[in-house]
Structure 1
Amino acid sequence: MLSLLDIPSVDRVAIAARLAADPRLARTLAELQVASQQALSAYGEGEREEVLERVRTLQTRACVLARPAGAWKEPPDRGIHLLGVRSFSGTIGVHYGVEDGRPIVLKASREMDGEIEAARLAARLGLTTPAIRRIPIAELARIPDLPSGTALATHLLLEERVEGFDLRNAPLVGWRPDPEDRTIFEGLGEIAAFDLLVGNWDRFVSANTGNLMVAEGRLVLVDTEASFTARPSEVHSRVARAIDDPELPGLLSSEVASFLEKACGFAFEDRHHRWVNAGAAAFVDRFIPVAEGEPEDSPAGKALAAWREASGEWEAVRG
């Protein structure tokens, strides 16, 4: 059982030791520092120093585990990039730490049932999400160095993390999708359709580029704030057209295109819209048999009903 009594702050000495022991990781960090410094010419001196300091510090983010929370798996040390820029302004409270050599994040939350339900459903569908567990709110008084805003919280959410770089307000450095990698774009379509299913508007719809990662070629969903309030009309307008007219850009693929343009300046072409649409259609194929096993009054069961109301029989839509 993971103890939360003495979660330390991120240890810079330990980080330095790890960098010294892993030349590959140190090289990646050095390259990132150089590229970031070149990208910071528009910042004032004070802002530049703050951003560069954050670039020098290894930070961890939520990782795809698709397995029961609590069983730790050592994360990979290479190929980890933030897709976009993490915004700290809207965070209720996030605490980064290491317990027994394992990176974790403790997040204060007003409501977490939707995130837990979404993570459970995503794991059944083969999507990558954080391993999470609920922590009793009584632990608040026993944990030192809590993040700001925890007084607003009604729950604590513990997530496992994977090592990456915190660029804060610095432009994205280090990852762009391979324009010929159809798998990546189909994966983006699956995630966009999943977000719509669970009523998560805080990724593609809002172009929140901090809520998606790429880890060794895998797309990782971060902070899926599921409300399960998708309106049938929105489901139809974004997803059904992707299946009805896969050759045409629709709202769903256009939102993904806007997201990537903001995240890393990537410009969509027609084939990328087609691939995103194909991913959305494939997701529907996977989702229906999984969700049909959900209780009718569960969030997933209700979401399935909304999808069918929006688009009729999916089998007929897909022909």
Structure 2
Amino acid sequence: MMPADNHTFFTPVTYILTGILGKEESHVWISIPFCLMYIVTLFGNSLLLFIILTEQSLHEPMYLFVSMLAAADLLLSTTAVPKMLAVFWFRAGEISFTSCLIQMFFIHVSFLAESAILLAMAFDRYVAICDPLRYTMILTNSVIGKMGLAVVTRSFCFIFPLIFLVKQLKFCRTNLLPHTYCDYMAITRLACNDITVIFWYGIAMGILVIGLDAVLIALSYGLILRAVFLLPSKDARLKALRTCSSHLCVILMFYTPAFFSYFAHRLGHIIPGYIVNLLANLYVLIPPLLNPIVYGVTTKEILKCVINIFHRCISRSSLLS
């Protein structure tokens, strides 16, 4: 983290994304599951958004939060995956410094937004189970709108200083970025001046944002579980737990690859680079892929709407033929 001596500093006009170093011969094979996952992500999240926005019966707090999550998933995956596939298929890794910063900004903003939305959804489940009589009074459309605005504002306020700090870096070695998309840790490692501020800002952001969100979500579910086990009947307890099951699955799918990727970056001298790269790819691929599947399968109302849409499509095609 100390500045390098006797170097000529420069600001690169372009970066070259190299993909997964050491696995170049496997790029085409790696791209196949990545491409399929991205197609399913686009289709699943777009369908989820369409159903929630057009179906009046789903205009409830829980489903509005799910629609926010789907929008964040689309932003996260669409910001990262197309360029990733271009690197794998066409070796089209060239990206301007400005485009790199923009990509980095939207990837990290959408990631922080997802974490905040999951926290809001934990609060939604807490109110629904622990204070059901006041549920509609507490989570009004106005409150949900303000929570959505707070999610975007918080994400912007934490990521913008990071982008500003990265923009001030000077480089003296190479513009080859050993990654499939622009990540601030990968770029910071190429810098030759002091990166202490960026390093500790990243640590503080991880603790104060992602870590705090995870702790508050765990606290919410601790209170939820306590309330559930105080319910008088077994059926009531099972019903309450079922309403939380899909959200718990989504939380695990989001935080598990994120934490693995976070610690892998900081243990880069121990863990092989291609594993760090693959883990970083997983956290922009796995949660956006699985979130709509989990909610579509485990939420009866959404599943019913999906079945109705496909039934109407099949009926129309049979009439046309």
TM-score band w.r.t. shorter chain: under 0.3
- The structure with the larger Rg is 2
- Of Structure 1 and Structure 2, the greater strand share is in 1
- Of Structure 1 and Structure 2, the greater helix share is in 2
- Higher RCO (Cα < 8 Å, 6 or more apart): 2
